[in-house]
Structure 1
């Protein structure tokens, strides 16, 4: 099969031909149709996440059809269309797994990080961690739901209840969570790089009532803010934008160092939370909710062979909405 292989930090992914993998007990072999491009993929190939299982096939927003069942799999049939998220496996026995917090499992294995992912024509996944794809979403439009959508949804849940939500960094996750937030009654205020006029226009197109530069104050005090941009300096900025009792949610798996925070901008029962990974319950809840909103994903498509170009576009901020690799159009 064709695949894009990550072998060394600082080097581009290499197009290769490798054997089609075989599913083990409890696993499914998937014929990959599409795979989303995520900022986490950048953190992996740029060396900011330091524990990849090299050589590695990246990609963790996978949409594919079941091509073969491993022993013991009864959940799916061959031909079923499923999605594979970032969380690829957990131990099921640690205190986090036993208390409904499998996203914090110390022994978790992640798709496209410790398990080969979807930048390939076929991949193997643990059947317990795959989701049926809701009807009405073509492969390309479904792929961003599996990480950008799921992390955005978990971040919104962490933000609690309120009316005024700030979103810092308007990319794949932000354009999805804006739609969900509006569905739930929030007014959304979008913050982008100061010179990103296109991003601000995109945010307004997605339903934001205001869009401006990340250093600006919104026209009214926020109840909560979600930070998707991996820039630690945005944490104090978001704290200054939220009112007393406000929540700042850091939605990325990696962020640059947070500068010193004056206590007066934290005081007033403001809080800072991080979002780590996802649970299968998050996936089930969000994929049931998405068609009701309905969530519309804005997608830029790339062929598998252009994975490096897609990552460069994401790195430079040239990508509108979510990037998706087209693996198989059949």
Structure 2
């Protein structure tokens, strides 16, 4: 195969492989497709690793607003630039890049004008409204990819592209909180817990009842305390971050934070929040949500992560085992993050 900027000349029969969602609630199907050619402003990336996010599970299970089908899921992508479309001067061919959830924004709506592109009125999302990284190759908007040449291990870097980035935005919304509760100790939580410790914050881990594996992981990362989500922490929290998609955690977290404290919901989907007494919100407690990310968030976090020594705990799966990875995530059969390796 010969590669030129803006041109892809392939051998007859050369194809990419992908795991494709055709209908919500069904298993992904393995397919071979023609190698994609990047258009103006785009790059083609050979996927080295793609982490499996809970958002992928929400997509497959039909819990998100319907998007275009069929679609290739996956938005925590690390890979090598193979080809560039017209008008792309960077990144260089051969460079390692990360491709995140936010795949494109309009640049013209009021939110984009206010530097709040995470709330863009006409966005594209990788692995949801455009094909993602559960594949050997992916085409992405070059302006929404991030340089990762300083990250030598693609498997370890893949969870940073969403679990890390969304986790960072969630933590930022907690403000100057010193005592931080983390509900749902999965991929995002175990990364942001390490950043909390590096920043000098104390963190408290809340897990499914009896999940001693997640509690042990939290304690090994420096948690001041780890227990079930229904338990009260040993001291009042300044803020609570909720990564588990369970609405019933909201009143529990509000009960755990002090007056003036914040509860930040970090997921794209959550089950219904049950009715709770106003007294849990009173005294200037705040309930906030995080939507997507901005490129500025990503640049901040990817600069901090190596300095903080953040290390992802990963379980690897072959690309063709994507359905098994999703099932294991649904059942909580691993701790940290699952990563597909083509």
- Could you tell me the TM-score, scaled by structure 2's length? 0.95
Aligned to 2:11: none
Aligned to 2:323: 308
Counterparts of 1:208-219 in structure 2, within 5 Å, are 208-219=223-234
1:323 aligns with 2:334: no
Change (3 A) 1:188 1:137: farther
CA deviation map 1:193-235 (0-9, x unaligned): 1121111111111221100000000000000000000000000
Question: Which stretches of structure 1, 4 residues or longer, exceed 3 Å deviation after superposition?
Answer: none
Aligned to 1:145: 160
1:158 aligns with 2:167: no
1:64 aligns with 2:60: no
Aligned to 2:305: 290
**Contact residue 53 and residue 114 of structure 1 kept, 8 A:** yes
Secondary structure of 1:191's match?
Answer: strand
Secondary structure of 1:190's match?
Answer: strand
Aligned to 2:70: 55
CA deviation map 1:119-142 (0-9, x unaligned): 111110000000001514400000
Q: 1-side partners of 2:120 and 2:299: how far apart?
A: 19
Q: 2-side partners of 1:87 and 1:133: how far apart?
A: 17
Secondary structure of 1:290's match?
Answer: helix
Deviation, 1:50, is 2.3
**Contact residue 134 and residue 291 of structure 1 kept, 8 A:** no
C-alpha RMSD of matched pairs (Å): 0.7
1:252 aligns with 2:270: no
From 211, 215, 218, the counterpart of 1:200? 215
**Contact residue 111 and residue 117 of structure 1 kept, 8 A:** yes
Aligned to 2:29: 14
Q: 2-side partners of 1:134 and 1:29: how far apart?
A: 17
Higher mean C-alpha deviation, range 49-58 or range 157-166: 49-58
**Contact residue 302 and residue 326 of structure 1 kept, 8 A:** yes
1:89 aligns with 2:100: no
**Contact residue 205 and residue 218 of structure 2 kept, 8 A:** yes
**Contact residue 134 and residue 287 of structure 1 kept, 8 A:** no
**Contact residue 3 and residue 57 of structure 1 kept, 8 A:** yes
Q: How many residues align?
A: 327
Higher mean C-alpha deviation, range 82-91 or range 256-265: 256-265
- Could you tell me the TM-score, scaled by structure 1's length? 0.98
Counterparts of 1:95-114 in structure 2, within 5 Å, are 95-114=110-129
Deviation, 1:185, is 1.3
Aligned to 1:190: 205
Structure 1 gaps of 5+ residues are none
Secondary structure of 1:54's match?
Answer: coil
Q: 1-side partners of 2:86 and 2:252: how far apart?
A: 52
Q: 1-side partners of 2:142 and 2:214: how far apart?
A: 37
CA deviation map 1:86-141 (0-9, x unaligned): 00000000000000100000101000000100011111000000000151440000
Change (3 A) 1:158 1:137: farther
1:220 aligns with 2:235: yes
Deviation, 1:52, is 2.2
